[in-house]
Structure 1
Amino acid sequence: MDLGERRGLETNVYQPAEDSELLAEAVCERLSSDSGSGDENGRTVLEVGTGSGYVAGRIAEETNARVIASDLNPHAVRQAREKGLEAVRADLVSPFVDCAFDVVTFNPPYLPTDPDSEWDDWMEHALSGGEDGRAIIDPFLESVDRVLAPDGTVYLLVSSLTDVDAVVERAGQEGFSAAAIADHSFPFETLTVLELFR
């Protein structure tokens, strides 16, 4: 791949930022502590919306879980595969079989965006959460239960800009209990990792 192609991938694919780091650290810590002995053999993890593959890569490196990365963006899938990850193009969890994953992680597009300000490209898909910031979160919460194993867990990154209480309430409507397991505050928002379980 030449430099021009590399730059094209990077401008079309969400690159790691503070939210990626927070989610990766929280999930890796939980997977390690939940296993007791540190043996996660047999666990299968899906990262929805993998972007560059940063979070999926950290989980694959720091745990023994099998990690599948997915994204709607074909540029993101390509970048994740270049990092050696199992990556597939998918709209949320639609192509996956029932009860396939022990863990599902998601750093969704969560920035509230005025419809008149949207710019209709792959970076918008990675960032824009619609008018309330939950345009992708709500359909994810409606569908993720189907692909979770019976004792499965979801790790969802949310922002105070999207109204965390509204996300927790929606998760409850879909049969999940929620616990905040990590957060990081900035002058303009607080990022929180929610652990969702039945």
Structure 2
Amino acid sequence: METPVYKFEPHDYDTVYEPAEDTFLLLDALEAELDTIKARQPSLCVEIGPGSGVVIVALSKHLPAGQTHCIGFDLNPNACRMTQKTAHLNGSRVDVVNMDLLAGLRPTSVDLLVFNPPYVPTQPVATTAHATASLEEHIDEFRSSVDVGQTLVHAWAGGADGRVVTDRVLADLPRVLSPTGLFYLLLLKENKPEEVLEQIRGMNLRGEFSSIYTHRYTSPPRTNYSGLGGMGRVSDLL
């Protein structure tokens, strides 16, 4: 699956996560899954936190435009603008919504869900509040960070076990996935992927590792995290 054309201006590097090794890992893994994805004939494809828009735009170019509606949800307004720009540069039809995770989706509406989460384990300073704060408090905190140029922290800092944001999405999976829905999630070995799978299976969903790679993350600020980088596939088919 070819990498879409994207263009960052100098000011974009401060507010939008640039495509890096994890982005290309996800693209490669999704390419290996294209036959499985196409066989499900997805009507709605959603990427959470598209950032540059590279992944959702790449998918859109391999899914029938008249059949699959591709949408990116991002709380970062700068990322929303960048995703729209990437879609335009590649002649792709991708809609973008500025919102938090899966909050605005109807039940059982998503046929294909993709997420490259903030997975780096960090001290629970910038992220622990997200687990207990109300949605309004979470959004207010993020928008305040936009004003002070700290949005990139939210793109990689995952809190305890690198799972604070991922666990919020997992809790909403049974509500949003369609009966034939697929969910693709990128995880680091420090995220305890076996524990994630156990959590998913406890929701009466079927989860498995579809790809495992030995991978070293070298692009700041994800330096010094190495080992198994994997993509998990979750299906709503039992």
TM-score of the two chains, using structure 1 as the length reference: 0.86
Give the match for residue 125 of structure 1. 154
Give the match for residue 6 of structure 1. 9
Give the match for residue 114 of structure 2. 105
Structure 2 distance, partners of 1:115, 1:72, is 20
Contact 1:22 1:182 in 2 (8 A): no
Report the alpha carbon displacement of residue 168 of structure 1 after superposing the two structures with TM: 1.2
Relative to structure 1, the CA distance from residue 33 to residue 131 in structure 2 (aligned partners, 3 Å threshold; closer, same or farther) is closer
Report the alpha carbon displacement of residue 186 of structure 1 after superposing the two structures with TM: 2.5
Relative to structure 1, the CA distance from residue 165 to residue 80 in structure 2 (aligned partners, 3 Å threshold; closer, same or farther) is same
Give the match for residue 139 of structure 2. none
The reply to whether residue 54 of structure 1 matches residue 42 of structure 2 is no
Relative to structure 1, the CA distance from residue 15 to residue 138 in structure 2 (aligned partners, 3 Å threshold; closer, same or farther) is same
The reply to whether residue 136 of structure 1 matches residue 139 of structure 2 is no
Contact 1:141 1:174 in 2 (8 A): no
Of 47, 68, 72 in structure 1, the residue corresponding to residue 71 of structure 2 is 68
The reply to whether residue 18 of structure 1 matches residue 21 of structure 2 is yes
Deviations 1:106-152 (A, max 9, x none): 00000000135889821111001102111011110001222211111
Structure 2 distance, partners of 1:128, 1:25, is 23
Structure 1 distance, partners of 2:46, 2:151, is 21
1:115 is paired with a residue whose SS is coil
Structure 2 distance, partners of 1:42, 1:156, is 17
Structure 2 distance, partners of 1:44, 1:29, is 20
Gaps of 5+ in 1: none
1:82 is paired with a residue whose SS is helix
Contact 1:28 1:63 in 2 (8 A): no
Structure 1 distance, partners of 2:199, 2:174, is 13
Deviations 1:23-61 (A, max 9, x none): 22322432334535xxx7653210011111111011011
Report the alpha carbon displacement of residue 80 of structure 1 after superposing the two structures with TM: 0.4
Report the alpha carbon displacement of residue 175 of structure 1 after superposing the two structures with TM: 2.7
TM-score of the two chains, using structure 2 as the length reference: 0.73
1:189 is paired with a residue whose SS is strand
1:35 is paired with a residue whose SS is helix
What amino acid is aligned across from residue 206 of structure 2 in structure 1? S
Task: Please list every run of at least 4 consecutive aligned residues from structure 1 whose deviation after the TM superposition is greater than 6 angstroms.
Answer: 117-120
1:92 is paired with a residue whose SS is coil
- Structure 1 residues 9-18 or 153-162, which shifts more? 9-18
The reply to whether residue 166 of structure 1 matches residue 190 of structure 2 is no
The reply to whether residue 190 of structure 1 matches residue 228 of structure 2 is yes
Structure 1 distance, partners of 2:160, 2:38, is 39
- Structure 1 residues 115-124 or 130-139, which shifts more? 115-124
Deviations 1:172-191 (A, max 9, x none): 23332211111221252211
The reply to whether residue 145 of structure 1 matches residue 174 of structure 2 is yes
- Structure 1 residues 117-126 or 74-83, which shifts more? 117-126
The reply to whether residue 92 of structure 1 matches residue 139 of structure 2 is no
Relative to structure 1, the CA distance from residue 44 to residue 178 in structure 2 (aligned partners, 3 Å threshold; closer, same or farther) is same
